[in-house]
Amino acid sequence: MYITIAFFHAYIYTAERSLSMRTRLLVSGIALLAALQGCAFVTVPFVPGTRPLVENTVQGRGREKILLIDIAGVISGESRDSLGGLSQQPDHVARMKEVLKKAERDSSIKAVVVRINSPGGTVTASDIMYRELVEFKQRRSVPVVACLMDIAASGGYYIAMAADSVYAHPTTVTGSIGVIALKFNVKGLLDKVGVVDETITSAVLKDSMSPFRGMSAQERAIMQSILDELHKRFTDVVHSGRQLLDTQQVAALADGRVFTATQAHEAGLVDVIGYLDDAIHEAERRAGLRPGSRVVMYHRPNRYKNNIYSHSSVNLLTIGGDFSGILPFQFMYLWNP
């Protein structure tokens, strides 16, 4: 089954490359025909992903503002092509930095609500985004409220620990505190088809985690030690964000399981079960703002946003588990059932 999946991904990758080439050729052909016909070129926002962020009011009024930030999909530090390769969407880390940099220059931003709908992602990308939020909060002295949506698991929950208060939608699935590193062993299949791995290495552990052979006891111990250290980093972050829980309580919750909103609330992993507007009201309260304060989002030009349930980005990485932009092997803070 695993090999079928691998071949399927290889096929999809090849198809995407072919589509990308066809799209570029089509656009080039249209441009050439226009030039030959003496047509004037008009600037068209064909690649909005490359244009600076703009602000849009989605709710309320007044000078003082609450910024609503989206974190959605599998979290990665890898950028992603869109429009058949004509545009490149910034990765989650780069976009978070861009959003917070813009917000930091705006003194009228008085609070931040982070809407999280993610099963997690790579360890480093999750950690960087958490750190960026923490440092922004410290530099600007503004409250941050997290609102967990469908899924806010593993790396998604990790990032929520930067918030002063965590709200979970009544139907949220969260938790999955832990680390995973996927490895496949295809040696048996390769033996059946007569393929022999002849990888040359300079040292015995250089090809650790190779899919073409099983792991030795030494390799397994080494990899387990890495996962244990990354797991401790995760639990330390949870303990820092959920200070009502002691280290033993966090450790008991950090076995990789997921929780419903009710279970998470009872365990102390979230503060309130509510909705996005409740999280916005909490941000108003913490910032000392009047009810009905202005809520803004940042987005690329020509993307219409008219309410708080509009999303600020287009499918950076879908929740369905699109790993095409992720390297073959990664340590992941990810819920991947």
The predicted-structure confidence for 117-157, as pLDDT tens digits, reads as follows 999 999 999 999 999 999 999 999 999 999 999 999 999 99
What's the rounded mean pLDDT across residues 223-250?
96
Mean pLDDT, rounded, for 171-192: 92
Please determine, for residue 293, whether its predicted confidence score (pLDDT) is greater than 70. yes
Q: What pLDDT is recorded for position 328?
A: 52
Shared-domain flag, residues 105 and 18:
no
In this structure, the strands spanning 173-175 and 144-153 are parallel
Q: Clarify whether residues 160 and 38 are in a common domain.
A: no
Phi, psi of 59 (to 5 degrees): -170, 145
| Six-digit token string for 78 | 């890898």
**Residue 15 domain boundaries:** 1-42
Max mean pLDDT among 70-79, 117-126, 303-312, 314-323 falls in 117-126
Residue 6 has pLDDT above 70, yes or no: no
Q: Indicate if 20 and 64 belong to the same structural domain.
A: no
- Average pLDDT of the residues in 50-75: 92
Ranges of beta strands (E only) in the chain are 54-59, 61-72, 80-82, 87-89, 109-118, 120-122, 144-153, 165-168, 173-175, 258-260, 272-273, 293-299, 332-334
The pTM of the whole model exceeds 0.85: no
Question: Which burial class, exposed, middle or buried, applies to 272 when counting CB atoms under 10 A from its CB (0-12, 13-18, 19+)?
Answer: middle
The Cα–Cα gap between 295 and 68 comes to 7
The pLDDT value given to residue 305: 53
Q: Are residues 113 and 218 in the same domain?
A: yes
Where is pLDDT greater, at 332 or 103? 103
Kindly tell me if the per-residue pLDDT of 297 is higher than 50. yes
Structure token digits, residue 264: 């998470």
Higher pLDDT, 173 or 309: 173
Number of domains, the chain: 2
285 pLDDT above the threshold of 80? yes
The answer on 191 and 164 residing in a single domain is: yes
Do both 178 and 267 map to the same domain?
A: yes
* Same domain membership, residue 296 and residue 150: yes
Please tell me whether residues 29 and 60 are part of one structural domain: no
Nearest CA among 200, 104, 116 for reference residue 161: 116
Q: What are phi and psi of 330, to 5 degrees?
A: -150, 150
Residue 284 — very low, low, confident or very high, per pLDDT cuts 50/70/90?
very high
- The contacts of residue 6 (CB under 8 Å, 6+ apart) are 184, 186
Q: Are residues 105 and 164 in the same domain?
A: yes
How far is residue 167's CA from residue 283's CA, in Å, rounded to a whole number? Answer: 11
The confidence band for 304, taking pLDDT boundaries of 50, 70 and 90, is: low
Residue-wise pLDDT tens digits, 14-50: 334 444 445 444 544 544 444 444 444 444 444 445 6
Tell me the average pLDDT of the chain.
Answer: 81
Decide the pairing of beta strands 61-72 and 173-175: unpaired
Read off the CATH number of the domain in which 206 is found.
3.90.226.10
Which pair of structure tokens corresponds to residue 306? 């008219």
Do 87 and 175 lie in a common domain? yes
| pLDDT at res. 89 | 59
**Residue 177 pLDDT greater than 60, yes or no:** yes
222 and 160 in one domain? yes
Does an H or E element contain 235, and which?
A: helix 217-241
Q: Which residues are catalytic?
A: 154, 206
Closest CA to 264 of 334, 160, 181: 160
- How far apart are the C-alpha atoms of 126 and 104, rounded to whole Å? 21
- Statement to judge: residues 160 and 273 lie in one domain: yes
